[in-house]
Chains A and B, each alone.
Chain A
Amino acid sequence: MERTPATSPVIEFREVAYALPNGEPLLQGLNLEVQRGETLVLLGRSGSGKTTTLKLINRLLTPGGGEVRVNGTPTAESDVIRLRRSIGYVIQDVGLFPHFTVERNIGLIPRIEGWNAERIHRRVEELLQMVGLEAQLASRYPHQLSGGQRQRVGVARALAADPAILLMDEPFGALDALTRDQLQREFLSLQQRLNKTVVFVTHDLREALRLASRIALMEAGKLVTVLPPEDFLRSSDPLAAAYVRAFGEGPASVVNRGAS
């Protein structure tokens, strides 16, 4: 996709800081822009601040300093419920509602938003197909699904009300290697069709290289560098180089060239 530099970023961090109630800083001086239609991957080890960054976007956390803008509006000024409903959210543990069927899980926000039953039903069918699940799974409960199926339902649920932004926090982290590989591939083809603005958290360099338009490397609450996958591999930044070394041989083969 062509990216026009003139358009304003969909998500913007300006000098954002966040600290725990006990004063321990988790994030400092963060400046970052996410462009429309790109997949920005936040890469870093645990405690580097990537999940904190993600949660600041849909205001599950509020910045202690600076501001986060979504579509040009500071999140602090927007209606938090509307903000969250305009942003899809997928987490590693999925968090499907165990007492709801797949259909009700996916259709919850549309139902709350007052869609009629027929429209919800059609949307659920469409979404199940989109994430590669059979229609008859709609009446199952989450405990009757495999891990991979559950995460697909999680993605379908996040897409239900057709948000323009998708936040994904290590969505494939808990899956076995084969399922993860398959879901990454499907994510790429889905992303080519839907063109959402995606912020994706991972600690896995392979996943980052494969899915990202750009990789934002984080360490100890700070943004180290933001680079496209090819440049990341050649980066002279010591931390980026350390990541590439730790990854071993052949990282170039997985680089995402399709979506950027």
Chain B
Amino acid sequence: MNVFHFFLQNHEQILELTLEHLWLVGISTLLAVMIGIPLGILSAHWPAWNKPVLGAANIIQTIPSLALFGFLLPVPWLGDRADRLAILALTLYALLPVIRNTYTGIRGVDPAVVEAGRGMGLTGSQLLFQVELPLALSVILSGVRVAVVVSVGLATIAAAIGAGGLGEFIFRGLAMVNNQLILAGAIPAAVLALSADFGLGWLERRLRPQ
């Protein structure tokens, strides 16, 4: 039986695990964006925040993923359900690229534009929402793109703690020394990562200011 047949026969389960995978990546990316963009703005506007925020995000990034999953397992509410835990861990990993690119994007706005905006009497939030964020958007989006691509890969490891996703196939395949099973997890994961990369890259180019 070749891989193609295996995919056809198990398409329901592959689809189910792919959706699970998407759920893990989607929710964690959303959380990372909701937390990371404000933190990025904060560190871009108040230099005192810059080092601690980026430093913390950097440190999280250096923790091996399997170890992070393990660390979080005994945490009360979190450890009750594996997907909660996986989402938290993926969110933590996704933070760094989002924070760093938000910071870079905002700091990269032409100082003359910001000075003109302040000089003509824009309030801080008008400047942020009408000038800084729109001009930083493509840079922020490229951070999100990196976060998504990394998360798709990392989320396969979440299966190790029973959070589901395409990693199920991979771990099962590894245990059973079955290449078809491994590919059934790896191929859809690769396709997800590539299409996220392509889609977000396209959006990023469209939003890039002239």
- List the interface of chain A (C-beta within 8 A of B): 58, 60, 81-85, 88-89, 91, 93-99, 108-109, 112, 141, 143, 154, 157-158, 167
Chain A residues, Cβ within 8 Å of B116: 89, 91, 94-97, 154
B residues 117-157 touching A (CB-CB < 8 Å): 117-123, 126, 130-131, 134-135
Pick the residue among A81, A95, A141, A157 that contacts B115 (CB under 8 A): A95
Chain A residues, Cβ within 8 Å of B131: 97
Chain A residues, Cβ within 8 Å of B112: 91, 93-95
Known A-B contacts A81-B123, A112-B126; the reply to A95 vs B135 at CB < 8 A is no
Q: Which of B118, B121, B134 has the most CB of A within 10 A?
A: B121
> What's the minimum C-beta distance from A200 to chain B, rounded to whole angstroms?
15
Q: Which of B112, B116, B123, B134 has the most CB of A within 10 A?
A: B116
* A60 and B113 alpha carbons, distance in the complex (Å): 14
> What's the minimum C-beta distance from B119 to chain A, rounded to whole angstroms?
4
A-B contact pairs, 9 of them (CB 8 A): A60-B118, A94-B112, A95-B110, A97-B117, A97-B130, A97-B131, A99-B209, A109-B120, A141-B210
Are B120 and A108 in contact, CB atoms less than 8 angstroms apart? yes
* A109 and B126 alpha carbons, distance in the complex (Å): 11
Are A60 and B115 in contact, CB atoms less than 8 angstroms apart? yes
Are A91 and B117 in contact, CB atoms less than 8 angstroms apart? no
Q: Kindly report which residue of chain A lies nearest to residue B119, judged by CB atoms.
A: A89
* A158 and B119 alpha carbons, distance in the complex (Å): 10
* A214 and B122 alpha carbons, distance in the complex (Å): 31
Q: Kindly report which residue of chain A lies nearest to residue B134, judged by CB atoms.
A: A99
* A91 and B209 alpha carbons, distance in the complex (Å): 22
* A154 and B113 alpha carbons, distance in the complex (Å): 11
Chain B residues, Cβ within 8 Å of A93: 110, 112
* A194 and B114 alpha carbons, distance in the complex (Å): 27
Pick the residue among B114, B120, B126, B134 that contacts A89 (CB under 8 A): B120
* A157 and B120 alpha carbons, distance in the complex (Å): 9
* A82 and B123 alpha carbons, distance in the complex (Å): 10
* A88 and B123 alpha carbons, distance in the complex (Å): 16
> What's the minimum C-beta distance from B204 to chain A, rounded to whole angstroms?
15
Chain B residues, Cβ within 8 Å of A98: 110, 113, 135, 209-210
Chain A residues, Cβ within 8 Å of B121: 81-85, 109
Are B113 and A84 in contact, CB atoms less than 8 angstroms apart? no
Are B119 and A58 in contact, CB atoms less than 8 angstroms apart? yes
Q: Kindly report which residue of chain B lies nearest to residue A104, judged by CB atoms.
A: B130
Are B210 and A158 in contact, CB atoms less than 8 angstroms apart? no
* A60 and B112 alpha carbons, distance in the complex (Å): 13
* A97 and B120 alpha carbons, distance in the complex (Å): 12
Are A84 and B210 in contact, CB atoms less than 8 angstroms apart? no
